[in-house]
Amino acid sequence: MSGLSSAATLRCQAVVRHNRPVSTGLIRLDLELERPTAFLPGQFAMVNLPGRRAFTFGRPFSILAVDGPVLSLLYRVVGGGTR
């Protein structure tokens, strides 16, 4: 697979700042990370939520935007883990 590279894994804790609908069935989740970081187009964030059975294993979320330490994710409500 020419032209593809593997990105380093970043593990950090975050605080939920906003979790609000932006359209029918689409939710924007804003997370404040421990430190600012950069992401590339097409990357996903694997999200784990301690204490939530539906999130025992990480789930991939589409990265919408990054503004300093705030990472914005966009997701569709499709099951128990996204409600």
Query: What's the pTM value of the predicted model, to 2 decimals?
Result: 0.73
Kindly give, in sequence order, each residue whose CB lies less than 8 Å from that of residue 68, ignoring residues fewer than 6 positions away: 36
Residue 41 lies in a domain: yes
Measured from the Cβ of residue 70, the count of other Cβ atoms closer than 10 Å reads 16
Provide the domain limits for residue 40.
14-82
Sequence-ordered list of residues with C-beta below 8 angstroms from that of 82, at least 6 positions apart, any chain: 27, 59, 75, 76
For residue 60, what pLDDT is reported?
Answer: 81
pLDDT mean values, one per 10 residues, the chain (83 residues): 58 90 92 87 78 62 90 80 52
Buried b (16+ CB within 10 A) or exposed e, 10-24: eeeebeeeeeeeeee
Q: Say how many domains are in the chain.
A: 1
Provide the pLDDT for residue 30. Answer: 95
Residue 3 domain flag: no
pLDDT of residue 79: 61
- Does residue 4 lie within any of the structural domains? no
CATH of the domain at 52: 2.40.30.10
